[in-house]
């Protein structure tokens, strides 16, 4: 200001004055400093903006995991879907008993289908952090629909599809397999996870509970059927050795207990104390084995069931609910191994928990017997009517009289809340493998013939046993042979195997197995389970 006043006093030209002022070095320095400062500020702002952008987490904020997680972590998934106007394309089902919500169907071509993230059978746990258990399906659908144009987080548990092998398979002996080394051998009863079913002839699977996590090729159901047809046509010239399916057998084929006179078997009349046991039926069975004649009475339902036409059967993990009826306990074993002795002891020790079904017979009622206690006494016509109407799980003839175990008598026991324990011929297994009965099948295996000789001929034991039966030495080899044959053909159906060596130990094993069957989760065919599960 001072400099400008002096210039005016000196009557200086205005333009010169302005020029002088603007070109003054101090002003230039001022501009320079000012712009430099501005530039620094801008750069700083730019860098801090960059930093904050770079540091910012643009990933989804996942809802916290629920407290109770299943042991199998692989089964859990959190799925994030961005919904547009299109419907999600899933239907929901609620298990009324447990309140669990499941995906029932994934509509082909819908959003869920195209995402590949949701599958039928998946259990929904949370939708956007909100628990869904117990909610009505309509409410869950609303929750799914609401999050249009916002990320939709679904916490779910998937159940891998598992199958149980129904045959033995050896790829190295299969001439049809494209690469034998890529094949996966398996045995009846193995649990398989089929990971790829796209190829019509060869699936890819891995074995559960196996040290190797690698997948291998196995024949598809189509390929298996084709092999079966080939096998059928090639008989008797050449048989496939790579697949050993379960082949339908006739009674007597696998039970080769050597001949035994009826006098060696305790007289039926002395067996009034065997109330409710199918003693006569067993006597009849033994007679049939000894004569080795195929019987047409062996089973009420066709024993040549379709499972022989499948390579594997889908299974699911099942935990019996407290309100479910108890599972049917089926004991299977070669004649003479001690199935009846074990069953009788179990029921005798705890008659309030275990019970056998009351059999039907056409023989006349004896003194001291009561209809519906020892047997249901019926006429031949009634019995024939029941046979025709598939009422029996198993039936047969002894001394001109018919004997049979009906499905209804088994249901009566189960409906009373008791655990029904039956013994059955293995080829009749299919008659009990139903959703309602959910049988737990225990195979009773003999110990070595030497141990059998020791235990079965012990006079002290015989004095205390319920059923007194004399064995010859050759019987023990026959029992072992029958057991081997039975196990080879039917082990895919066995849930548990008990070796009947020391009777006390075997009783404990049986008791533990039955408890396990009723209280612990088990693998059961998906067909016994699916409608409630979904
Ligand atoms: N662990 C055991 N130790 C010694 N003896 C046994 C044992 N288990 C069973 N027994 C005896 O073996 C004989 C045959 O048993 P049981 O009648 O129960 O056989 P099963 O398998 O029911 O045969 P079947 O179907 O032909 O009647 C009986 O005398 C029984 O007491």
Q: Where are the domains of the chain?
A: 2-55, 73-157, 168-244, 262-533
Q: Quick one: pLDDT at residue 259? A: 33
Structural contact between residues 492 and 188, judged by C-beta atoms closer than 8 angstroms = yes
Q: How many CB atoms lie within 10 A of CB 139?
A: 16
Lookup result for tokens 């029921």: 347
Buried b (16+ CB within 10 A) or exposed e, 11-39: eeeeeeeeeeeeeeeeeeeeeeeeeeeee
CA separation for the pair 221, 223 (Å, rounded): 5
CA separation for the pair 202, 184 (Å, rounded): 11
Nearest atom (ligand 1) to Cα of 468: 29
Higher pLDDT, 265 or 388: 388
> Angle at which helices 339-349 and 503-519 pack, to 10 degrees?
70
Mutation choice for ligand 1 from 257, 340, 486, CB with most ligand atoms inside 8 A = 340
pLDDT above 70: residue 127: yes
Q: Tell whether domain 73-157 is in CATH 2.30.42.10.
A: yes
Token code pair at residue 368: 């001291």
Structural contact between residues 317 and 72, judged by C-beta atoms closer than 8 angstroms = no
Nearest atom (ligand 1) to Cα of 455: 4
Mean pLDDT to the nearest integer, 337-343: 92
Q: Quick one: pLDDT at residue 460? A: 65
Q: Quick one: pLDDT at residue 124? A: 86
Question: For ligand 1, atom 27, which residue shows the shortest CA distance?
Answer: 282
Which residues form ligand 1's pocket by a CB distance below 6 Å?
A: 282, 285-286, 333, 335-341, 455-456, 461, 465, 467-469, 500, 503, 506
Among candidates 133, 160, 135, which has minimal Cα distance to 72? 160
pTM over 0.80: no
Which architecture characterizes domain 262-533 according to CATH?
3-Layer(aba) Sandwich (3.40)
CA separation for the pair 33, 52 (Å, rounded): 28
Predicted-assembly ipTM surpassing the 0.95 threshold: yes
Question: For ligand 1, atom 22, which residue shows the shortest CA distance?
Answer: 340
**Among 109-123, 255-269, 407-421, 494-508, where is mean pLDDT lowest?**
255-269
Q: How far is CA 139 from CA 93, 134, 200, 274, in A?
A: 11, 10, 40, 57
> Quick one: pLDDT band at residue 258, thresholds 50, 70, 90?
very low
pLDDT above 80: residue 341: yes
With a pLDDT cut of 90, the percent of the chain lying above it is 29
102-119: pLDDT as tens digits: 888 888 888 888 887 887
Higher pLDDT, 215 or 212: 215
CA separation for the pair 290, 110 (Å, rounded): 63
Q: Quick one: pLDDT at residue 221? A: 84
pLDDT above 90: residue 209: no
427-442: pLDDT as tens digits: 889 889 998 899 999 9
> Quick one: pLDDT band at residue 15, thresholds 50, 70, 90?
confident
Helix/strand/coil for 506: helix
pLDDT above 50: residue 92: yes
How far away, in angstroms, is 22 Cα from ligand 1 center? 123
Q: Quick one: pLDDT at residue 486? A: 94
Give the gyration radius of the chain's Cα atoms.
38
Q: Quick one: pLDDT at residue 333? A: 95
Q: Counting Cβ atoms within 10 Å, is residue 426 exposed (0-12), middle (13-18) or buried (19+)?
A: buried
How far away, in angstroms, is 271 Cα from ligand 1 center? 15
Q: What angle do CA 339, 341, 343 make, to 5 degrees?
A: 70
Question: For ligand 1, atom 8, which residue shows the shortest CA distance?
Answer: 338
Among candidates 140, 145, 159, which has minimal Cα distance to 111? 145
**Among 106-110, 303-307, 317-321, where is mean pLDDT lowest?**
303-307
Q: Which CATH superfamily is domain 168-244 in?
A: SH3 Domains (2.30.30.40)
Buried b (16+ CB within 10 A) or exposed e, 98-129: eebbbbebbeeebbbbeeebbbebbbbbbbee
Q: Quick one: pLDDT at residue 227? A: 74
Mutation choice for ligand 1 from 252, 289, 336, 450, CB with most ligand atoms inside 8 A = 336
143-170: pLDDT as tens digits: 887 766 666 777 777 766 789 998 889 9
Q: Quick one: pLDDT at residue 153? A: 74
The per-residue pLDDT of the chain, averaged, comes to 78
Mean pLDDT to the nearest integer, 333-340: 92
Higher pLDDT, 346 or 270: 346
Higher pLDDT, 373 or 459: 373
pLDDT above 80: residue 232: no
Q: Say if strands 312-318 and 522-525 run parallel, antiparallel, or are unpaired.
A: antiparallel
Q: 63: which DSSP letter?
A: P
**Among 69-73, 354-358, 458-462, where is mean pLDDT lowest?**
69-73
* 168-244 matches 73-157 in CATH topology: no
pLDDT above 80: residue 404: yes
22-72: pLDDT as tens digits: 788 888 888 888 888 888 788 888 888 877 777 666 555 555 555 555 555
């Amino acid at each position: 200001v001072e400099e400008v006043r002096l210039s005016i006093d000196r009557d200086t030209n205005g333009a010169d004055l302005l020029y002088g002022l603007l070109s003054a070095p101090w002003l230039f320095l001022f501009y320079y400093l000012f712009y430099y400062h501005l530039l620094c500020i801008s750069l700083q702002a730019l860098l801090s903006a960059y930093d904050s952008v770079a540091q910012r987490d643009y990933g989804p904020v996942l809802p916290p995991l629920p407290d109770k997680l299943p042991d199998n972590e692989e089964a859990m998934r959190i799925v994030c879907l961005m919904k547009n106007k299109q419907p999600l394309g899933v239907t929901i089902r609620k298990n009324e008993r447990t309140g669990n919500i499941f995906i029932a169907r994934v509509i082909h071509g819908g959003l869920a289908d195209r995402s590949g993230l949701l599958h039928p059978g998946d259990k929904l746990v949370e939708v956007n952090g909100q628990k869904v258990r117990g909610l009505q399906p309509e409410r869950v659908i609303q929750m799914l629909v609401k999050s249009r144009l916002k990320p939709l987080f679904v916490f779910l548990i998937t159940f891998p599809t598992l199958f149980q092998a129904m045959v033995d398979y050896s790829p190295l002996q299969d001439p049809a397999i494209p690469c034998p080394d890529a094949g996966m051998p398996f045995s009846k009863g193995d649990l398989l996870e089929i990971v790829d079913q796209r190829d019509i002839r060869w699936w890819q699977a891995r074995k559960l509970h196996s040290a190797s996590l690698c997948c291998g090729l196995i024949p598809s159901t189509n390929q298996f059927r084709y092999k079966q047809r080939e096998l059928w046509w090639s008989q008797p010239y050449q048989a496939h050795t790579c697949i050993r399916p379960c082949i339908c057998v006739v009674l007597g084929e696998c039970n080769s207990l050597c001949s035994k006179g009826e006098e060696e078997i305790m007289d039926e009349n002395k067996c009034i104390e065997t109330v409710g046991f199918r003693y006569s039926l067993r006597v009849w069975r033994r007679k049939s084995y000894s004569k080795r004649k195929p019987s047409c009475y062996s089973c009420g339902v066709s024993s040549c069931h379709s499972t022989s036409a499948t390579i594997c059967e889908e299974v699911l993990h099942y935990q019996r609910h407290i309100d479910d009826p108890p599972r049917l306990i089926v004991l299977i074993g070669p004649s003479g191994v001690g199935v009846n002795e074990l069953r009788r002891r179990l029921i005798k020790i705890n008659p309030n928990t275990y019970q056998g079904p009351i059999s039907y017979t056409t023989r006349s009622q004896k003194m001291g017997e009561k209809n519906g206690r020892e047997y249901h006494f019926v006429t031949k016509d009634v019995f024939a009517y029941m046979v025709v109407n598939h009422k029996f799980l198993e039936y047969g003839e002894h001394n001109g009289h018919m004997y049979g175990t009906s499905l209804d008598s088994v249901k009566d026991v189960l409906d009373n809340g008791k655990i029904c324990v039956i013994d059955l011929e293995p080829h009749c297994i299919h008659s009990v493998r139903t959703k309602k009965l959910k049988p737990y099948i225990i195979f009773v295996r003999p110990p070595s013939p030497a141990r059998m000789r020791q235990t079965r001929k012990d006079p002290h034991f015989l004095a205390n046993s319920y059923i007194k039966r004399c064995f010859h030495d050759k019987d023990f080899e026959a029992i072992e042979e029958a057991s081997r044959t039975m196990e080879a053909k039917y082990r895919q159906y066995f849930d548990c195997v008990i070796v009947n060596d020391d009777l006390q130990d075997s009783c404990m094993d049986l008791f533990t197995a039955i408890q396990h069957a009723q209280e612990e989760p088990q693998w059961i065919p998906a067909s016994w389970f699916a409608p409630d599960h979904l």
